[in-house]
Amino acid sequence: MTDDSFENRTRVQTGTVGHVFRIIRDRGPLNPADIVRLSGLAKSTVSVNVERLVGTGLVREETRPGSKRRRLKVDEKAGFVVGVDIGQTHLAVGLLDLEAGVLADRREGLALAELGPEAVLSRVSAIIRELAAKTGADPSHLFGIGVGVPGPVDFDHGIPVSPPVMPGWDRFPVASYLSTEFGCPAFLDNDVNVMALGERDRGSAGRQGGFLWVKVGSGIGAGIVIGGEIWRGAKGAAGDIGHIGIDGDSTLCRCGNRGCLETVAGGRAISALALEAAKDGSSPFLARELGPGTAASPELVARGAAHGDEVCLNILMDSAKAVGNVLAKLVNFWNPSLIVVGGGIASIGERYVASIREAIYRRSTPLATSELVVRKTSLGDRAGLIGAAVLVLDEIFSHRNVGRLVREDSRGGERSDQS
């Protein structure tokens, strides 16, 4: 997002073939005339580079019955990638095509706080092999692996950095572990960042303007997207909204501060409130359901709310209101055009998202909300693994890498004929 990277990407690193591929990937299917218009390149240059891309198998013609126009798109079957979503209480792994369409996936429970990286990553590897065997995917066509984890990440090195909810993972080389295991590139990022990427490519967001992807689950966090790219901030800490303080609240958070949003409105807070309401009898539903052997959970509270239990409903609405009040402040500051809400608790229902929306609209300025859309993710609980796949695709299909993939001559390829 700096001028430096801007210059680099467009002037120094960009091979023309990478530029053409980027346009086809972002906007395709496209006919050659569209590519000429969007790229500013000469017709002959576009033609040569399209042929090179078709030659490598990365791009194919889309055939539409009855149409003679040639339309080009990424050949989504030219290979596959793996998306891994490591959550505090779940693990999801998927095989996806080169347009991040899910070919096969598996989701299972996970007690992340109790498992170190070797245990989890060897399970991840086993699932990848299982899914590959099941789908008959050719291992040599595995282009890369993307992983999202619920904590801060040093993106360049592919390692978690002091993740509070992942004891034992600090600085473990997650990306290089999987890269070595499968002999392909691997990338690691924060879970909400990858979910935001998934929404951009496969959900309802698109690449224009700015949007927020807000996860409300065991933890609370946000991915910030500007012009199609993740904004990571100075230290990769951007989007850490779960630890924004609620003025005057003194609930002690695991981070050591008091009144953090997450500790008031996150999954653990909801479970704790449910347990309390069961014990003091204020919620007949919870008192009945929360016997020995049944753990309190946001899902249980949601069931109670659906059954008309007022305490359950209030617990959820208070959580939504707290999230919405924090987002209202961020809307005044950052004025996004779209907020997408996802994660375990948000997936409970439209009513939860509606309460968030209401709080935002009540407490932001009219100008900032005049065209703001607040909606639930359309990706459901696959948001994490789809996003992790998009992360890989963004990296392996960068201008520079596409140039390499087609073995572009490094001198000739950097000539950009714009006449």
State which H helix or E strand residue 286 sits in.
helix 284-289
Q: What is the dihedral of CA 17, 19, 22, 23, to 10 degrees?
A: -110
Based on its alpha-carbon atoms, the radius of gyration of the chain, rounded to whole angstroms, reads 23
**C-beta atoms surrounding 289 within 10 Å:** 19
Three-state DSSP at 99 gives: coil
Q: Which is nearer to a copy of itself, 161 or 165 (CB)?
A: 161
Residue 9 DSSP label: I
CB of 156 to a copy of itself, least distance (A): 15
Residue 212 DSSP label: E
Q: Which is nearer to a copy of itself, 54 or 238 (CB)?
A: 238
State which H helix or E strand residue 142 sits in.
strand 142-149
CB of 354 to a copy of itself, least distance (A): 20
Q: Are strands 220-226 and 159-160 parallel, antiparallel or unpaired?
A: unpaired
In angstroms, the Cα distances linking 174 to 95, 145, 323, 376 are: 18, 11, 31, 30
CB of 256 to a copy of itself, least distance (A): 9
- Nearest CA among 366, 418, 405, 404 for reference residue 79: 405
CB of 37 to a copy of itself, least distance (A): 9
CB of 255 to a copy of itself, least distance (A): 7
CB of 380 to a copy of itself, least distance (A): 25
Q: Which is nearer to a copy of itself, 131 or 340 (CB)?
A: 340
Distance (Å, whole) CA 202 – CA 388: 12
Distance (Å, whole) CA 346 – CA 256: 26
Structure-token pair, residue 292:
């020995």
Q: Which is nearer to a copy of itself, 210 or 349 (CB)?
A: 210
Burial per residue of 55-91, b for 16 or more beta-carbon CB atoms within 10 angstroms, e otherwise: ebebbbeeeeeeeeeebbbbbeeebbbbbbbbbbebb
CB of 412 to a copy of itself, least distance (A): 8
Contact present, 110 and 72 (Cβ < 8 Å): no
Q: Which is nearer to a copy of itself, 29 or 209 (CB)?
A: 209
Residues β-bridged to residue 223: 213
Q: Which is nearer to a copy of itself, 282 or 337 (CB)?
A: 337
Q: Which is nearer to a copy of itself, 288 or 415 (CB)?
A: 415
Q: Which is nearer to a copy of itself, 176 or 337 (CB)?
A: 337
Q: Which is nearer to a copy of itself, 79 or 198 (CB)?
A: 198
Q: Which is nearer to a copy of itself, 13 or 314 (CB)?
A: 13
Structure-token pair, residue 62:
């889309």
CB of 355 to a copy of itself, least distance (A): 17
Distance (Å, whole) CA 222 – CA 44: 44
CB of 145 to a copy of itself, least distance (A): 26
Burial per residue of 131-159, b for 16 or more beta-carbon CB atoms within 10 angstroms, e otherwise: bbeeeebeeeebbbbbbbbbbbbebeebb
CB of 329 to a copy of itself, least distance (A): 5
